[in-house]
Amino acid sequence: MTQPQPAHQPATILPFRPPVAGNNAWVDAGAYLERAASQIGLESEILLLLRSPFREMHVEVPVRLDNGKLAVFSGYRVQHNGARGPYKGGIRFHPDVDLDEIRALAALMTWKCALVDVPFGGAKGGVHCDPSTMSEGELNRLARRYMQNISHILGVTRDIPAPDMGTNAHTMAWMMDAYGSANGYTPGIVTGKPVELGGSYGRESATGRGAVIVLSELCRELGAAPADMRVVVQGYGNVGAWTARLAHEAGFKIVALGDVHGACYSDDGIDVPAVDAWLAEGNALSQFPGTEHVPPSEIVTLPCDVLVPAATGEVIHTGNVRGVRARIIVEAANHPITLAAEPVLAKHDVTVLPDILANAGGVIVSYFEWTQNIQQFRWPEERVNDELRTRMMAAYAAVREESAANSVTMREAAYAIALKRVAQAIRLRGFV
């Protein structure tokens, strides 16, 4: 009997990557913590506790590919700190995933949840793979097997994953199904699900909406009209596309939109709904008619007032930071600016809305989704968006106040607030 042939290229199997010590993101995460600890005079025992994650899991994820071969991927789940509630954080499918990156992202989640005052600790997960080369069937099998293999450290009151780069609502549906087949119907085990399966209205747009809320507030304080602000968005996935759509709706002038293949740029402004229609026809973003094509490496140095990195981490580094022309950077991505590049931006008076504030809209609405699942009750979208705005504005105001009171950057202020809250939870639990 002849075997059916796959209609696509078989997945690329990446070589096994052991954890790489000294990866920038994890080194930087440690430096942010030390800096905040000395800023608030944190006791050394709590600092000791927070320097390393509570638990790290490395699993093998075997998947039968469409071509009949077996591929074995490396998967991780890191739980950084759970003093304030169950662990919470996304799952990334990406070729750069390694243990150090996942550790750093888990720590960021601890600070983010504390800053926006949702009752969660910080976690992150990931699989070292290239989803752009995999079929839907292969991704389905990968998501299920990864979920099965980490499931004994998860739970609605223990650890609740969500989407991140390379994963989406559909991936969450597969993961919920895999968990449910062993444990019974458990919609609250993941957030960012499709609305039809217990997802929340407003979750898909939440990270971008939160970023636009804080950007709009900063511009209002600076007396800058949105129409005069030229915005460049790097990354046109979940976060980048929603940031661009909502910023466009709010009257900002979007001058460039980019993805992994390059960007389209026009100083006259780009009609974002027309871009969506262009992409829906299967066209490339960087070929959008009436715009200039820009290679991926040049996106962050394009002329603009506002730069929104919304793709991978460490895209602004010592090698390109002097070319950055924006006055404001909205960190919609996690850790898009390396620690070493920060002083250059500060010297040029670039205002950075830090990741743990700017992209916290996603985890805020994930919290709303989780509460809705527990109550088996659905909120209307207006309520989700209103409560998201209230929480983003409260966190923004707290960061501005702390930053002004202590003459520190918004990142330093955000970390100080978050660390004080996490440390207080540790003390109250009688841990140290």
Pick the stretch among 24-32, 79-87, 164-172, 390-398 that binds ligand NAD (CB under 6 A): 164-172
User: Which listed residue (100, 164, 369, 402) binds ligand NAD by CB under 6 A?
Assistant: 164
Closest CA to 86 of 55, 47, 52: 55
Nearest in space to 342 (alpha carbons), one of 350, 331, 334:
350
Q: Is 97 in the site for ligand NAD (CB under 6 A)?
A: no
Helix, strand counts (H, E) of the chain: 13, 12
Residue number, nearest CB to ligand NAD: 237
**Cβ nearer to ligand NAD, comparing 37 with 312:** 312
Of the listed pieces 158-166, 374-382, 384-392, 409-417, which binds ligand NAD according to CB under 6 A? 158-166
- Least Cβ distance, residue 274 to ligand NAD (angstroms): 18
Supply the angle between the helices 381-406 and 203-222 in degrees, to the nearest 10: 40
The Cβ of residue 177 has, within 10 Å, a number of other Cβ atoms equal to 15
Largest CA distance in the chain: 75
Q: Which residue in 37, 165, 324, 426 binds ligand NAD (CB under 6 A)? A: 165
Instruction: Indicate whether 214 belongs to the interface with ligand NAD (CB under 6 A).
Output: no
Q: Give CA–CA dist 412/45, Å, rounded.
A: 21
238 counts as binding ligand NAD under rule CB under 6 A: yes
What Å distances lie between residue 345 and 97, 316, 322, 350, CA to CA? 27, 10, 8, 5
Q: Using the minimum distance from each CB to ligand NAD, give the nearer residue, 226 or 235.
A: 235
| 333 forms part of the interface with ligand NAD (CB under 6 A) | yes
Of 34 and 130, CB closest to ligand NAD = 130
What angle, rounded to 10 degrees, do the helices at 381-406 and 361-375 form? 140
Residue 89 binds ligand NAD, judged by CB under 6 A: no
Q: Exposed, middle or buried, 44 (CB in 10 Å: 0-12/13-18/19+)? A: exposed
Minimum gap (Å) between residue 47 Cβ and ligand NAD: 26
| Under rule CB under 6 A, residue 6 binds ligand NAD | no
Name which position in 201, 258, 306, 410 contacts ligand NAD (CB under 6 A).
Answer: 258
x/- string (CB under 6 A) for ligand NAD, residues 286-315? ----------x--x----------xxx---
Integer CA distances (angstroms), 236 to 175, 239, 285, 397, in order: 24, 7, 9, 28
Amino acid in position 241? A
How many residues touch ligand NAD under the rule CB under 6 A: the total is: 25
User: By C-beta, is 125 or 240 nearer to ligand NAD?
Assistant: 240
Q: How does strand 292-294 pair with strand 262-265? A: antiparallel
Angle at 103 between CA 96 and CA 259, to 5 degrees: 35
Decide: is 334 part of the binding site for ligand NAD (CB under 6 A).
Answer: yes
Q: Judge whether 124 counts as a catalytic residue.
A: yes
Sheet of 253-259: strands edge to edge?
A: 292-294, 262-265, 253-259, 230-234, 306-309, 328-330, 351-353
**Does the protein bind ligand NAD through residue 213 (CB under 6 A)?**
no
Kind of pairing between the strands at 253-259 and 262-265: antiparallel
Catalytic residue among 88, 124, 193, 253: 124
Q: Is residue 419 part of the contact set for ligand NAD (CB under 6 A)?
A: no
Shorter beta-carbon distance to ligand NAD: residue 53 or 166: 166
Q: Which of 123, 235, 350, 364 binds ligand NAD (CB under 6 A)?
A: 235
Per CB under 6 A, which of residues 376..405 are in contact with ligand NAD?
Answer: none
Eight-class DSSP state of 129? S
Q: Which of 286/423 has CB closer to ligand NAD? A: 286
> Which positions lie near ligand NAD, rule CB under 6 A?
163-166, 207, 234-240, 258-260, 296, 299, 310-312, 332-334, 359, 362
Enumerate the active-site residues.
Answer: 124
